[in-house]
Amino acid sequence: MRSLRSADAEVRLIGRGGPQMKSVAGQDFKDWIEQSSVLGLSEVIKDYGYFRKQFRETLREIGTSKPDAVVLIDYPGFNLRLARALRKKSSQKIIYYISPQVWAWNRGRIKKMARWLDLMLCIFPFEADLYNQSGLRTIFVGHPMVERLGDRKIDTPRDSNLIGLFPGSRAREIRKIFPILIETARELHRSRPSLRFEVAAASDDLARKIVNMLSSEDPQLFEVKVGQTDEIMQRAYVGIVASGSATLEAAYFRMPFVLIYKVSWPTYAAGRLLVKVKYLGMPNVLAEKEIVPEFIQHRAEPAAITNAVSRLLELGPRTTMISEFDKVREQLGGTGASERAAKAILAEIA
């Protein structure tokens, strides 16, 4: 949004998203991030009425404002339905930014998307090849993370006694994953008493939940830090990271880590039926092999995770993983992803 404004000062932005987007767009923009950030089958079903209402309101807002282009960002459960509905009713350009990972769960849907969308802007190079082959015009603009994380690099040595814990950015993830991380930390500390653990909390509210879960633990062993994920990733010797965008950030910062994830069993069962890729973590997807050990659902056992982390404390395994991370980073493109995306959007309107 900032890059669009830089490229064309007359651009008017409306829509819905989070507080940072609202701060750029102004009063015409709706901050709905707290209500719309759901994960898992049961949450979606529980809030289905809310999303139906928001869907109708969004269509009405677009119909009233008649924008030159609608840019759909990620969030495929809502946005792909919106693209289909808009294509039936209106003629404005429909552009998708941050490709939905249909290559992981429903490649057959790409041909339908080609009928709904005018342009796809993707952040991974293999996505551009896949979509273009299916008739959906696609431009690889690079990953916006590269520039953001590049600005947050710090010159600091890694602490060989520090393990970073990254349990996720949602309360449900914390409830499912953090107890496993606590037990893993205990086992690691028993075998290496010099180890300490820093926990990255995405918000003050999640930090309070994490601190409550640590109430019976040794206060010298754990330290909870809010909004310092990037810093911890650059100081920790090894990390344990919940699946999500943080795995790619960890690879960017060259922090050896293991991946963990656990959801409710109905959500997991539904996911197993839908997902068609071998790996959950994007570093592994991009590498096309398991460079990061993955501990998903029933495999997320403290003993197994402890063994994997212990191996990464040794020079050979960590050096190998860091070398693979460098190859992954090369696939993310250079800086300027947001500027390239903005130029592509304006060119499409023109």
- Count CB atoms within 10 A of the CB of residue 265: 10
Task: Please say if the pLDDT value at position 59 is more than 70.
Answer: yes
Q: Decide if pLDDT at 40 tops 60.
A: no
The gap from C-alpha 31 to its chain's centroid, in whole angstroms, comes to 19
**pLDDT beyond 70 at 41:** no
Question: Is the pLDDT confidence value at 48 over 70?
Answer: yes
Per-residue pLDDT band at 7 (split at 50, 70, 90): very high
Selected residue with higher pLDDT from 136 and 167: 167
pLDDT of residue 47: 67
pLDDT at 69: 96
Angle between helix axes 302-312 and 315-330 (nearest 10 degrees) is: 90
DSSP structure string for 225-250? EES-HHHHHHHEEEEEEESSHHHHHH
Predicted confidence (pLDDT) at residue 103 exceeds the cutoff of 70: no
What is the C-alpha R_g of the chain?
A: 21
Contact between 313 and 238 under an 8 Å Cβ cutoff? The reply is yes
Listed in sequence order, the residues at least 6 apart from 31 whose beta carbon sits closer than 8 Å to its beta carbon are 16, 17, 18, 19, 21, 22
Domains in the chain: ranges and CATH? 2-143+335-349 (3.40.50.2000), 150-330 (3.40.50.2000)
Mean pLDDT within 150-163: 95
pLDDT at position 275: 64
Between 90 and 168, the higher pLDDT residue: 168
Per-residue model confidence as pLDDT tens digits over 233-276: 999 999 999 998 899 999 999 999 999 998 776 666 666 655 66
Question: According to the model, what pLDDT value does residue 196 have?
Answer: 97
For the residues of 314-350, what is the DSSP string, one character each?
A: SHHHHHHHHHHHHHHHHTT--S-HHHHHHHHHHHHH-
* pLDDT tens, position by position, 192-247: 999 999 999 999 999 999 999 999 999 899 999 999 999 999 999 999 999 988 99
Tell me what pLDDT residue 259 has.
98
More confident residue, 29 or 38: 29
Give the 3-state secondary structure of residue 46. Answer: helix
Mean pLDDT across the chain, nearest whole number?
90
For residues 127 and 135, give the distance between their C-alpha atoms in angstroms, rounded to a whole number: 13
- The highest-confidence range among 33-37, 130-134, 166-170, by mean pLDDT, is 166-170
Three-point CA angle 104, 143, 69, nearest 5°: 85
Given a cut of 90, whether residue 297 has pLDDT beyond it is no
Task: Write phi, then psi, for 261 (nearest 5 degrees).
Answer: -160, 145
Alpha helices in 198-314 (DSSP H): 204-213, 229-235, 245-252, 265-274, 282-287, 302-312
pLDDT of residue 105: 58
Average pLDDT over residues 275-303: 90
pLDDT digits (tens, 9 = 90+) for 105-130: 566 678 888 899 999 999 998 888 88
Q: Supply the pLDDT for residue 50.
A: 81
Mean pLDDT in residue range 35-43: 61
Q: Euclidean distance between the first and final Cα of the chain, in Å?
A: 17
Q: Which residue carries 């119909």 as its tokens?
A: 63
Quote the pLDDT of residue 134: 82
Could you tell me the pLDDT band of residue 183, with boundaries at 50, 70 and 90?
A: very high
Helices 171-191, 302-312: inter-axial angle, 10-degree rounding: 60
Question: Which amino acid is located at 300 in the chain?
Answer: A
Distance CA 167, CA 18 (A): 22
* pLDDT reading at 49 higher than 60: yes
For the chain, list the strands marked E by DSSP. 15-17, 29-31, 69-73, 93-97, 119-122, 138-140, 159-166, 196-201, 222-226, 236-242, 257-261, 294-296
* 29 vs 228, higher pLDDT: 228
pLDDT for the residue 91: 81
The residue among 90, 140, 80, 78 whose CA lies nearest residue 110 is: 80
What pLDDT score was predicted for residue 309? 98
**pLDDT for res 271:** 63
